[in-house]
Amino acid sequence: MMGGLGEVDKALIVAFAVVIAIALLSGLGLYASWYTATHPDYGMTTVKTGDVTWVCLTDHGTTIGCDTVEEYR
C-alpha cells in the first residue's frame, strides 16, 4: 500500500461524516415538526359551572367543543 491515509484524506472523511450527521439531524427535526403538526393530540377536560358539569374535547390545548356530562353516561 501507499502508507495509509494522508492528512487531506482524513480531513475529507471527517468533513463527510459531519455533513452526514447534520443532514440526519435536520431530517429528524423536519420529521418531528411534520408529525406534531399533522397528528392531533386530543384530550378531554371537565369543567363544573354551578350544577352542570361539562366535558370539553381539546386538540393541542385548544378547546374544540363542550357538552354536558349527562349525555356521555
Q: What is the pTM (predicted TM-score) of this model?
A: 0.50
pLDDT interval class at 31 (50, 70, 90):
very high
Strand ranges (DSSP E) for the chain? Answer: 42-49, 52-59, 62-68
Ranges 2-11, 14-23, 39-48, 49-58: which has the least confidence: 2-11
Q: In terms of residues, how long is the chain?
A: 73
- Indicate whether 62 pLDDT > 60: yes
The closest of 23, 70, 16, 22 to 48, measured between CA atoms, is 70
- On the question of pLDDT at 1 being above 50, the answer is no
Question: pLDDT tens digits, residue range 13-28?
Answer: 999 999 999 999 999 9
Q: Grid coordinates in use for 20?
A: 452526514
